Amino acid sequence: MRRTTLFTALLALAVAPAAQATMPMVKKAKDLGITQIENCKSCHAEKNTKDSLNEAGKWMIEQKAARKAAECDVAWMKEYYAKKK
Ligand code: HEC
């Protein structure tokens, strides 16, 4: 079961590599009213790649795995910032 999910997730990444990059996470955060997310640096470190993430960005990756989601959802960040308080 886990293997199948992982395979599906990898397949989704391979088939649509540009989907994440074009997804305007900052805009989505603003729409959701997550004021802590101001720009790319809210989740990314030096570079805006998936290998250069800060604490918040890494948390998103962890959540993706924990929730067995196909891709990251900015809405999860509400929980992240709620826990930080
Ligand atoms: C809410 C946190 C967050 C914000 C804000 C954010 N990113 Fe990301 N970004 C991520 C995460 C998490 C990943 C890794 C996604 C994954 O692997 O599922 C990522 C991945 C990427 C990637 C790699 C995509 C790929 O599939 O290889 C690019 C490029 C990127 N972001 C650019 C940006 C740019 C440019 C901005 C600012 C406009 C931005 N990001 C803002 C969290 C964020």
Question: Going residue by residue through the chain (85 aa), what tens digit of pLDDT does each one get?
Answer: 566 665 555 445 454 444 444 558 999 999 999 999 999 999 999 999 999 999 999 999 999 999 999 999 999 999 999 997 7
Nearest to 20 by CA among 2, 44, 46: 44
For residue 15, the model assigns a pLDDT of: 46
Candidate from 8, 11, 38, 50 with most ligand 1 atoms within 8 A of CB, to mutate: 50
For residue 5, the CA-to-ligand 1 centroid distance in Å is 22
Contacts of residue 72, Cβ cutoff 8 Å, sequence gap at least 6:
20, 25, 60, 61, 63, 64
**Helices (DSSP H) in the chain: which residue ranges?**
2-15, 18-22, 25-32, 55-66, 77-84
- Residue 18: the pLDDT is 44
Query: Is the Cβ–Cβ distance between 54 and 45 less than 8 Å?
Result: yes
pTM: 0.80
